[in-house]
Homo-oligomer: A and B are copies of this chain.
């Protein structure tokens, strides 16, 4: 019986999201898994197809990518996981996360679920999409408000 060999943790840098990082890393340490951290910069340009009318969009994405890269390095240091791989990519989060899990042979994706909506807890759309598209196990870490 084995647990996991490579865990991909999706990080959104929200204050509540720190629970996802902590849980993913704790699981990685207890199971001896290798870790990959990913942050997805949502691809603004593709939504509006507007690079011509908004020439500053590629620059915004570039700066967001740099900021996220520094952010993941800080997570590595703060959580003492110096060997974790860091990935920052632009695109639709659910597809980027699922594709990266396949590329890196991750056998577990750790992702946060968002939000209290009315009387029932509902999954965020990224978590829901990852759960439905992933070809490996998915741990949905419940995030309270």
- Chain A residues in contact with chain B, CB under 8 A? 1-3, 22-23, 25-27, 29-31, 113, 120-123, 128, 131-142
Contacts and interface: CB of A to CB of B under 8 A. Distances in A.
Contact of A121 (B113, B122, B134): B134
A98 to B, nearest CB: 10
Secondary structure type dominating chain A contacts = mixed
A29 to B, nearest CB: 8
Number of copies: 2
4 nearest CB pairs, A to B: A1-B26, A30-B30, A139-B139, A3-B26
B137 A139 contact: yes
Given A1-B25, A131-B123, A140 B141 contact: no
A142 B31 CA distance: 18
Contact of A133 (B120, B128, B131, B133): B120
B121 A132 contact: yes
A135 B115 CA distance: 11
B133 A142 contact: no
